[in-house]
Amino acid sequence: MFLKLLRLEIRSFFRGTSLGVNLAMKIFRFIGILYFMGCLVGGAFLAFFYVQEEMHQDPLKIVSKFLIIAWIIDLVIKYLWQEIPTQNIKPFLTMNIRKNTLVNYMLGKTFLSAFSWLISLFFITFSIIALFNGYSIPGVLAWFVGVSSLLYLNNFINIFFNGKETVALIVAIVFALIGGLGYYHIIPVLSYSESVFYSFYERPYFSLLALALFVALWVLCFRYVRRSFYLDEGLEAKKTEGKTENIAFLNKYGAIGTFINNDIKMLRRNKVTKGILMGSFMFLFYGLLMFTSPLYKTPAMMMFMGLFVTGGFQFLFGQRVPAFDSSYYPLMMTLNVPYKEYLKAKWWLMNIVTGVSIIIALIYVYFGWELYITFLAAGLYNIGVNSQFTLWSGAFNKTQIDLNSKEKRIGQKGSFNLIALLLLIPKMLLPMAAFAVTKYFFGITAGVVCIAILGLAGFVIREKIFDIIVKHYKKEKYSTLDAFKNKS
């Protein structure tokens, strides 16, 4: 039955109305997966031989020591992006198929996600290398089974946490506290991790405990899902009592103020938009990556980080205009909605948040004024140029967004468009190249001034650019309406 259900989904993919775009996205995903496969396999070789030959330590112990960090990162990635495949199950609930079969299919399908099996490539490769370098065969196999069992527990934990943002936030705070205690050597977290995971190798029978825990959590997760596996209960969209909110002072700015008011209320109320706000907050710490690799300390990459640190909200929110309004966009187009004011409201909201991000980015002064003024220049470029190009790319985004469902999909079919990809050139490549070249020949001050001038120029001619953007939104209007109406 599992294979039959899987075949039906494959047929659905090839019979869909957007097969060409689906295939294009699958190809891009496949290329991305191949890249990460190469990184993980290569990382296994690097982890083993570097630790053994350069650090002169036991690679299995060192990897076991940091597995607790890998486990937490894997859980966070799955919670943020791995989709729970309930939507594809709904049509079968009215058929003569046992619900137990459907629940097990849904649980099993989570293991087919690239988020689940990609990390296994590292441990498979690492285990094979260990076997060829004199490690005990039973010990390595037991270590692999134990580690894999604990990592795959995250699939079930993700299902338990799905839709429970408060619980997930509490767990995140607990993880952060434990990480802080470990960082300041109050609790030897990494030593505990080494003891637990390395025990699978030293005492192979311990891996049976991890395997038993995996089976037990599968059973608990099965019962948890099975209990609410009905169209009129667990899989039905949750409904809450509507509340009327109004930010009064914005109304005095006319149509733009009204639209901003609506967007702020949307950001506060819905799951998807709350995720956007959380993602924007996380982007503020993107600059810390400069300490993980010398590559990030180059001028071009410093500008790249600055664009994301100050423009996280802009990129996450702006490129989904008007997808956030997809549920009522057809109705809105029947009204006398001033397109330019509608887009300007989005533009002002993005730039207000960008301005706040520039202020918060002052924390990077701790690492030097040169880094902060680079981020400042990037922020000015985001306000003057990228805010408009991001809105422009939104005209080609035909992705329907259900604001009441947690968005966990990367590379949705409607978000792919060649024009949107080409717009990345002025958004990312132009400021990176301009800053790197100017700084190389004339110094940091000239680099910052160059990017600031580009941002100022974009701000000055914004009205002309807005006319072009509005023209493209109107040109794409009917294809966008068709995409938002077509629920298939």
Tens digits of residue pLDDT in 211-251: 999 999 999 998 888 887 765 554 454 544 444 455 666 76
Structure tokens at 138: 């039973």
The pLDDT tens digits for 361-400 are 898 888 888 888 999 999 999 999 988 888 888 777 777 7
Residues recorded for the chain:
488
* 207 CB neighbour count, 10 Å cutoff: 24
Least confident segment among 147-151, 165-169, 243-247, 402-406: 243-247
CA distance 17 to 241: 36
pLDDT at 215: 93
pLDDT at 409: 43
- The DSSP letter of residue 236 is S
Structure tokens at 261: 């008011």
Structure tokens at 379: 């922020």
CA distance 206 to 209: 5
pLDDT at 244: 47
